[in-house]
Amino acid sequence: MRLAPSILSSDFSRLGEEVEEIEKAGAHVIHVDVMDGHFVPNISYGAAVMKSLCGKTALPFDVHLMIENPDQYLEDFVTDQTEYITVHQEACPHLHRTLQHIKGVGVKAGVALNPATPLSVLDYVLEEVDLILIMSVNPGFGGQKFIPSALRKVQELEEIRRKRDCGFVIEIDGGINLQNVKKVTDAGVQLVVAGSSVFGAENIGRRVNEFLELF
């Protein structure tokens, strides 16, 4: 299991310092939430914020594009530290082509599913994806409450992965905290996104340690 704190919840006036704190505490990945105000009802930041961290941290970037027309912007998020670029199935009319586009720029390809989107929409691309992100809140804002049905969705996805012998990573994002993280990792999640529960803590480094102790 790996922990991916989401910088959406960080204090942007101290972004470099807070990223250094999570890295020293043992976090594995930086989750980069990109919102355009169209696909989701919020605007976050673009590639410039992520690129400002290049060379200042050794952690890889896990880019989550909550945007319309993601193909137009993929290259902006490609750096030597970009591990995954994840797009939403709901935003991609030609999902297979978009996944090939991501892989074509040398990055691992991920697909995110909103809470109401069934797993069946990925039946014909499971062999193409490196990561599947299960949204456990409706995307657009940090600090939301975990949607319980996401746990069943993870369990079903883990069963599909096992039966079809697929190699994709299962990620979860939304409302993850110290009280529910063990449930999602037991269900099959390998990459855990945590935003406000990490960056909203009084001691960020200690909170990362508390998460890792539960993995």
Read off the pLDDT of residues 125-180 as tens digits, 9 standing for 90 and up: 999 999 999 999 998 777 789 999 999 999 999 999 999 999 999 999 999 999 99
62 is catalytic: no
**Predicted TM-score of the model (pTM):** 0.96
At 92-130, the pLDDT tens digits run: 999 999 999 999 999 999 999 999 999 999 999 999 999
Answer yes or no: is 167 a known binding residue: no
Letter string b/e over residues 96-105, b meaning 16 or more CB atoms within 10 A of that residue's CB: eebbebbeee
Is 33 among the residues known to form the active site? yes
| Catalytic residue (one of 76, 165, 173, 186) | 173
The phi, psi pair for 196, rounded to 5°, reads -65, -30
Written out in words, the top-level CATH class of the domain with range 2-213 is: alpha beta
Confirm whether residue 110 is marked as ligand binding.
no
Annotated active-site residue in 33, 36, 62, 130? 33
Instruction: State the helix-helix crossing angle for 15-25 and 204-213, rounded to 10 degrees.
Output: 30
* C-alpha span between 54 and 59 (Å, rounded): 9
Q: 6 phi and psi, to 5 degrees? A: -95, 120
